[in-house]
Amino acid sequence: MELERTELTDLLALMENGHSPFEKAIRAMKVSVCEAFKKSGALAPVTFLPGTRTLEPNPEVAEAFPNSIAASKNIILSASGAMTEKVSGKRVAVLFSGGPAAGGHNVLVGLKEILGPTNTLMGVKAGPKGLMKGELFEITDDHVKGIINTGGFDFLGTDRTKIEKPDDIDKVRNVCREQNIDAIVIIGGDDSNTNAALLAEKLFCDVKEDGSGVQVIGVPKTIDGDLQIGDDLPISFGFDTATKIYAEKVGNLLRDTASSLKYWHFVRLMGRSASHVTLEVALQTHPTITLISEEVRDRNTTLSEIVDIIALTAIERAKNGLNYGVVLVPEGLIEFIPGFTTMIDDLNDKMTQFKDDLGGKSVREQLLFIYSKLTQDHGELLESLPEAIKFMLMSDRDQHGNLQVSKIETEAMLSHEVKLRIKELDGNVKFEYLNHFFGYEARCGASTLFDSSYTYNLGATAGSLILDGRTGYMASLRDLDKGAKPLGIPIASLLDIEMRKGKPAKVIEKALVKLDSPAFLYLKSRRKLWAEKDLSSSPGPAQFWGPTSRQMPKTVALNRKYNSLDFKFDADE
Amino acid sequence: MELERTELTDLLALMENGHSPFEKAIRAMKVSVCEAFKKSGALAPVTFLPGTRTLEPNPEVAEAFPNSIAASKNIILSASGAMTEKVSGKRVAVLFSGGPAAGGHNVLVGLKEILGPTNTLMGVKAGPKGLMKGELFEITDDHVKGIINTGGFDFLGTDRTKIEKPDDIDKVRNVCREQNIDAIVIIGGDDSNTNAALLAEKLFCDVKEDGSGVQVIGVPKTIDGDLQIGDDLPISFGFDTATKIYAEKVGNLLRDTASSLKYWHFVRLMGRSASHVTLEVALQTHPTITLISEEVRDRNTTLSEIVDIIALTAIERAKNGLNYGVVLVPEGLIEFIPGFTTMIDDLNDKMTQFKDDLGGKSVREQLLFIYSKLTQDHGELLESLPEAIKFMLMSDRDQHGNLQVSKIETEAMLSHEVKLRIKELDGNVKFEYLNHFFGYEARCGASTLFDSSYTYNLGATAGSLILDGRTGYMASLRDLDKGAKPLGIPIASLLDIEMRKGKPAKVIEKALVKLDSPAFLYLKSRRKLWAEKDLSSSPGPAQFWGPTSRQMPKTVALNRKYNSLDFKFDADE
C-alpha cells in the first residue's frame, strides 16, 4: 500500500524539523525588553556602575582570585543608562554548559541583538569540550530567526566538561588567541559559573599578543533553581518552564486520584539536592503530602519517621473514604536523611577495600559481611533500610565503584515501605500505589513566556557587560515584577569553600530551600489542610497566549515579596 | 517562624480547590456547539431518523439482542432537525465507567443543557458499582458551572465494575424503579459500551410498573483511541488530550537528546493493545524509531529482530556522530510478538499445575524446570528472551497467579537488550539509555478545546437520543472538520464474538491500527528519514488560546481524509 498524497499530507511534511504550528507561532512572538535596553525605541547596550550592594567574599577565595576581586571590589554592578560609546569589532564566543534548560536559545538571541552588526557572536559546539577543541562558528541573523523562543540547547549542544586543569585553561587560551576571541559567555549552573569565575581570573590579562585578556561572563541557568541570590538573582532560567511542566503533570495526577479513587501516586521530581522544584510544584498543585529535603535534615527525620508520616496520613484519609493521594518526593531527599551520605561513602570505601572477600557471595551474604565493616552508626542505618534499597545500594555502582545517590528510586522505596507499614498499623486499610519519576521531559520544554523574556534580557545584559569591558561577572536581573533591572554580580565574590569528592573546593554554594522563606512557610501553613481534604488545583499546560500566560513561579513571587504573580520585564507593558 | 500575610498570600489561598488562574479562565470559555443543536439561537435537542448506513451484526449476537436489533434494524441514526415535541419529566442517570479521560465533565454539561430545566439529570457516584448501590444525586446548574471544560472524572468518580450477571442487572433494575430513572447514560470505552448494550437489551421493557423499560445510551470514551468506527465515529474522546500531553513530552525529549547528545530514550506509551496513541505521538514529533504493535504482528517480527532494528539504527547514527535518539514503544507491544500471549497462558497454567515442584527453587532452577513443561514453541520462545524479562515473567504475578502483560516494562527490556546487541555488533559504539513510561499523567489532563467541544456535543447527542426515545445506541459525531453531525450507532450491531479469559464473549472489537490506513502509511513513508536525520518537531504544550489551539489529532484528520487539522464543530465559526 502506498500513501495517497493529499493537501493534508503535504501540509504535514512541512511541519517537520522544528516547524510544528506551535514552533512556527512562537518564533513570531515578540519578547518583552527591559526599559534599560530601549534607547529611543531601538535596542542598545547599557553601561554599568557599582551599585549599593557589596558581597563578602571568603578571604581564602579572595586570595585565589586577586585580579577579579581587585577589579570588582565585590560590588554588584547596576545598569546606569545607555552606552554612549560605540564598541565594535568584538568577537564573543558563547557556549552552553551542563544539563539543558529552556530559554538558552533566547540568551543567544539577546546577546546577538545587543552586540549588533558591528560585533561578532560565535557559537561554541557541544559545551566546554567544544571550546577547548576550538569548535566555533559564526551565529548569523538567520540562525537567530530559527532559534528565537524555542526550548532546548540543541542549536549548540552542551556537555559537562569542567575547564579546571592548567592544561585545559591553556587550550582555551590558545583557541582565543587563534580565533581572536575577546570574550566568552558561559551559560550554565552553579558549577559552570564557578568555572566561569576561574576562567575570568586566569584569562584576566596576557592572553593576546598585546597583553590583553579575554573577558568571561556567566549566565545563570538551571531547572533546579538552586542558583539564586536573594533579590539580586531571583531565580535561574529554566526553572519556570520545568516546574510548569511538572506541575501540570502533578495536577493531572491529583485529578486522576480523585477520579479513579484507588491509587496513591509517589512522584519523585528532578532538581538535584535542593527542593525548590518540589516546593514550587507543591504550591501550584496542593498535593496530599510534600517532602522537603531541607526540612528533613533540619529536623533529623529518619526514613522510618517519613514512612510513618505518610502511612498515618493514608490511614487517616482512608477513614474518611479517601483511599488515594499524591506524595511529592524531591530527587535529593535521600542525601538529606541523617547519616545517609556518610554511610554511602563508608560503604563505597569498604566495598572497594574488601572487594575480594565480597566476590562470589550472594547479595545477602555480602550484606552480612559488610555490616560489621562499617562504623556502628552506618551499619545500623544500613541494616534499618528496606530490603529493596539495601539490594540497590549493594549493586548499582558506576565504573569507579561509586553509587549515584540520584539513581536511587526513593519514591519506589517509600511507597513499598508505606504499604508494609500500613499493613502493620491497620490491616483493613486499602493502599495501592504507583511510582513516577518526572525529570528529563522538562529540561527542553518550550520556553515559557517568563523564561523567554528573562533569558533574552539576560543575554542583553551579558552582552552589555562585555561591551562595557567587564569580566568575571554573572548577568542578572532584579525586580521581575515591575520592569526588570540589569545587574552584574561578581562571581568570585560568591565562592565559598566546600568539600567536593573529599577535597576542599572553591565553588558557588548551592542555594537550598530556606525554612524561614515565605515560600516554605506558605507550604507549612497549608499542608495540613491539603493532607486532610482534596484542595488540589491543576495549573494546566503552560500557556503562550491568553489570560494565564504571564505568570512567574509562585516561590519567586513569594520570596521576593512581589504583590502578584505577573512578571513584567518591560515596565511599559 | 510564621508566615507573614500579604496581598499575594491571600491571592494564593484563593487558587486552591480547582481555582488556579487556568481553571478559572477555562471555565469561562465558550464551547463550540454543532449547528444541529442551535435552533433559532437557543440550544435545543434534535430528533433522529435512520440514515443511509447499515451495520452487519454477527448472527449469534443478533440472536442474543433481539429487542435492540429489532428496534434499530442495525441502521445508524442521523440527526434530522430540531425536536418539535417538548419532552419533560425524564429522569436521566449518568455515570463514568473505566479509566478516566479528559472531557467527561463536558459530556455531563452537554447532557444537562440539552435535557433542560424540565428534565432531571442525576449523577451516579463512582461508576457502575455506584449505580448498583443506587448512589445518585441531582446535578444542578451550579455543578455545571464548576465542572465545565475541566479534565478528569473527579466530579463523579469512576470504577471498573461490569454489570453482567443477572443479579447485577436486577440491582440496576431495582434502583431504576426505586429512584424512578428513565434512562442511563454510560460514559466509557469498548467494554463499558458493550455493557451498555447488554443493559439496554435487558432493561428494554418491563422495568417500571407500567411496563416501560429504561433507555441506555453509551458515550465513546478512551484515551487509547481503540473505539472508532470509520467516518461514523472518528475517535473516542480523551485521545486528543492524552496524545497532546504525551507528544509534548516526547517532543521535549527529542530536543533534549539533540541538546545533551548522549542518550537514547526508550519511551513506553499508555494505550493498551492498540498503537493509536504511539502512532499519533509519532506523527506529532517524528521520533527516531516508532514501533507499531500491529505491524510487528503482521510481519511476525520476533523480539530479537526488533532489538536488531534498533541496534542497527543506533550504530548507523553513531557513524554520523548522532549518539542519541528516541524510541517509542506502544504499551501493548509484547502481546503482539508472535506466540507471546499463548506462551504466557501456557506458562501461567504450568506454574499453577507444578506449583509444588517449583516451591523452594531459585528462579533459575524454576526456569530450567518449566522449559520442558511448556509446548516446544513456547519453551523455545521463553528461552530466547532476555534474562531480565525471564525473571520478570517468573515472578510478577497477581493473586490469581496470572501475569499482567501490561506491567512488563518492555522499554527497559528493549533498551537493555539493544545495549548488549550493540556491544556484540560494534564495541566502539557508545550507547547510553534512559527508560520512561508515560501514562497516568495524561488521563486527567485539562481537556483540550477539541475534547471539550467534542464531549459537549456528544453529551447533547446522548441527551437528544434519550428525549427521542432511543435505547441501545452510542452517541457519536461525524465530519469533525466541517460542522459536526450528531449520530446514534446501534451498539448491539457492533458486537462480535471474542475469546476473553478463555471463554467466548460478545464484545465490541477493539479498533487496531490498520496497516493500510493513511495515518500508518504516512509514518511508513517518513520514518526512514526520521531515523537517519533529526527532523523532530515539538508540538509544545496544548494551547487553549492563540493560533494553535484548534488542532485535532493528525491520525484522525489523515484517516478521515480531512483537508486540514483544524476541527470545526460549529460550522459558523
Domain stop point among B496, B511, B526: B511
Task: Give the residue-averaged pLDDT of A7-14.
Answer: 96
B206 carries an active-site annotation: no
DSSP tag of A549: S
DSSP code string of B286-350? --SEE--HHHHHHHT--HHHHHHHHHHHHHHHHHTT---EEEEEETTHHHHSTTHHHHHHHHHHH
CB contact under 8 A, A440 and B265: yes
Task: Give the residue-averaged pLDDT of A523-539.
Answer: 97
B251, B254, B256, B261: CA torsion to nearest 10 = -170
CB contact under 8 A, A561 and B2: no
Does A409 share its domain with A503?
no
Mutation site for B-interface testing, chosen from A23, A124, A250, A260 by largest number of B Cβ within 10 Å: A260
Question: Is residue A6 domain-resident?
Answer: no
Touching check for B521 and chain A: CB below 8 Å?
yes
Does B224 share its domain with B312?
no
Spatial separation of the C-alpha atoms in residues B300 and A556, rounded to whole Å: 55
Spatial separation of the C-alpha atoms in residues B374 and A466, rounded to whole Å: 73
Crossing angle between the packed helical segments B449-467 and B104-115, to the nearest 10 degrees = 40
Of A245, A524, A544, which is closest to B543 when you measure between CB atoms? A544
What is the pLDDT at residue B398?
62
Task: Give the residue-averaged pLDDT of A24-50.
Answer: 93
Burial of B166 (0-12, 13-18, 19+ CB in 10 A): exposed
What is the pLDDT at residue A500?
78
pLDDT classification of A405: cutoffs 50, 70, 90: low
Spatial separation of the C-alpha atoms in residues A182 and A184, rounded to whole Å: 7
The CATH number linked to B171 is 3.40.50.450
Domain stop point among A507, A524, A544: A507
Q: How is residue A293 written as a grid cell?
A: 529535603
pLDDT classification of A402: cutoffs 50, 70, 90: low
**CA nearest to A188, candidates A64, A260, A103:** A103
Does B374 share its domain with B426?
yes
Looking up cell 577535597, which residue turns up? A503
**Close Cβ partners of A108 (under 8 Å, ≥ 6 residues apart):** A94, A121, A123, A139, A144, A147, A155, A156, A459
Question: Is residue B207 domain-resident?
Answer: yes
Judged against a pLDDT cut of 60, whether residue A399 lies above it is answered with: no
What is the pLDDT at residue B409?
87
Of residues B19 and A41, more confidence is placed in B19
What is the pLDDT at residue A452?
98
DSSP tag of A439: -
Compute CA distances B533 → A16, A283, B316, B469, whole Å. Answer: 11, 41, 11, 57
**Close Cβ partners of A502 (under 8 Å, ≥ 6 residues apart):** none
Q: Which residues of B touch A20 (CB under 8 A)?
A: 251, 284, 537-540
* Complex-level ipTM: 0.96
DSSP code string of B515-555? TTSHHHHHHHHHHHHHHHS-------SPPSSSTTS-BPPHH
Residues in chain B: 573
What is the pLDDT at residue B42?
82
Touching check for B534 and chain A: CB below 8 Å?
yes
Spatial separation of the C-alpha atoms in residues A132 and A173, rounded to whole Å: 9
Beta-carbon neighbour count of residue A371 at 10 Å?
Answer: 15
Question: Is residue B566 domain-resident?
Answer: no
Q: HSE (CB half, 13 Å, CA atoms) of A211?
A: 0
Catalytic residue among B190, B224, B451, B481: B224
Domain stop point among B461, B479, B511: B511
- How far is B470 from chain A, CA to nearest CA, in Å? 29
What is the pLDDT at residue A184?
98
Does A398 share its domain with A476?
no
Spatial separation of the C-alpha atoms in residues A196 and B525, rounded to whole Å: 47
Question: Is residue A355 domain-resident?
Answer: yes
Does B247 share its domain with B231?
no
The DSSP bridge partners found for residue A48 are A79
**pLDDT tens, position by position, A175-229:** 999 999 999 999 999 999 999 999 999 999 999 999 999 999 999 999 999 999 9
DSSP tag of B182: -
What is the pLDDT at residue A1?
78
Spatial separation of the C-alpha atoms in residues A320 and A483, rounded to whole Å: 48
**pLDDT tens, position by position, B168-196:** 999 999 999 999 999 999 999 999 999 99
Spatial separation of the C-alpha atoms in residues A378 and A371, rounded to whole Å: 8
Touching check for A67 and chain B: CB below 8 Å?
no
Spatial separation of the C-alpha atoms in residues A442 and A464, rounded to whole Å: 30
Task: Give the residue-averaged pLDDT of A447-453.
Answer: 98
What is the pLDDT at residue A360?
80
- How far is A44 from chain B, CA to nearest CA, in Å? 30
Spatial separation of the C-alpha atoms in residues B222 and B444, rounded to whole Å: 11
**CA nearest to A83, candidates A52, A111, A115, A106:** A115
Note whether B91 and B433 are within 8 A (CB).
no
Q: Amino acid identity of B115?
A: L
* SS3 label, residue B33: coil
Note whether A207 and A176 are within 8 A (CB).
yes
Looking up cell 521576593, which residue turns up? A560
Q: What angle do CA A27, A29, A31 make, to 5 degrees?
A: 110
Residues in chain A: 573
Phi and psi based region of residue B472 (left: phi greater than 0; alpha: psi -120 to 50; beta: remaining): left
Cβ-count burial B71-92 (b if 16+ within 10 Å, e if not): bbebbbbbbeebbeeebeebbb
* SS3 label, residue A266: strand
Does A217 share its domain with A271?
no
Q: Which residues of A touch B539 (CB under 8 A)?
A: 20-22
**Contact map slice: A 98-117 vs B, CB within 8 A:** 99-100
In B114-263, beta strands by DSSP E: 120-124, 136-138, 158-159, 183-188, 215-220
Least confident of A394-403, A493-502, A506-515, B10-19: A394-403
Does B225 share its domain with B247?
no
Touching check for B435 and chain A: CB below 8 Å?
no
Does B102 share its domain with B249?
no
**Close Cβ partners of B140 (under 8 Å, ≥ 6 residues apart):** none
DSSP tag of B130: H
DSSP code string of A382-400? HHHS-HHHHHHHHH-B-TT
* SS3 label, residue B474: strand
Note whether A565 and A547 are within 8 A (CB).
no
Question: Is residue A538 domain-resident?
Answer: no
Structural domain boundaries, residue A174: 31-238+447-507
- How far is A23 from chain B, CA to nearest CA, in Å? 7
Of residues B355 and A415, more confidence is placed in A415
Does A231 share its domain with A276?
no
Spatial separation of the C-alpha atoms in residues A557 and A280, rounded to whole Å: 11
Spatial separation of the C-alpha atoms in residues A398 and A409, rounded to whole Å: 16
**CA nearest to B224, candidates B327, B97, B332:** B332
Looking up cell 509444588, which residue turns up? B356
Does A116 share its domain with A149?
yes
What is the pLDDT at residue A401?
62
Q: What angle do CA B46, B47, B48 make, to 5 degrees?
A: 120
Judged against a pLDDT cut of 90, whether residue A341 lies above it is answered with: no
Question: Is residue A522 domain-resident?
Answer: no
Low-confidence ranges of chain B (pLDDT < 70): 396-406
Average pLDDT for chain A: 94
Does B335 share its domain with B393?
yes
- How far is B73 from chain A, CA to nearest CA, in Å? 35
Question: Is residue B526 domain-resident?
Answer: no
Catalytic residue among A182, A224, A346, A451: A224
Task: Give the residue-averaged pLDDT of A365-370.
Answer: 90
Q: How is residue A305 written as a grid cell?
A: 519517621
Judged against a pLDDT cut of 70, whether residue A406 lies above it is answered with: no
B355 membership: H or E segment, kind and range: helix B355-358
What separation, in Å, do the N-terminal and C-terminal C-alpha atoms of chain A show?
Answer: 55
Does B232 share its domain with B298?
no
Q: Amino acid identity of B151?
A: G
**CA nearest to A202, candidates A58, A65, A73, A63:** A65
Least confident of A319-333, A494-508, B285-299: A494-508
Look at chain B and report how many structural domains it folds into: 2
Question: Is residue B555 domain-resident?
Answer: no
Touching check for B446 and chain A: CB below 8 Å?
yes
Closest B-chain CA to A95: B259
Judged against a pLDDT cut of 90, whether residue A403 lies above it is answered with: no
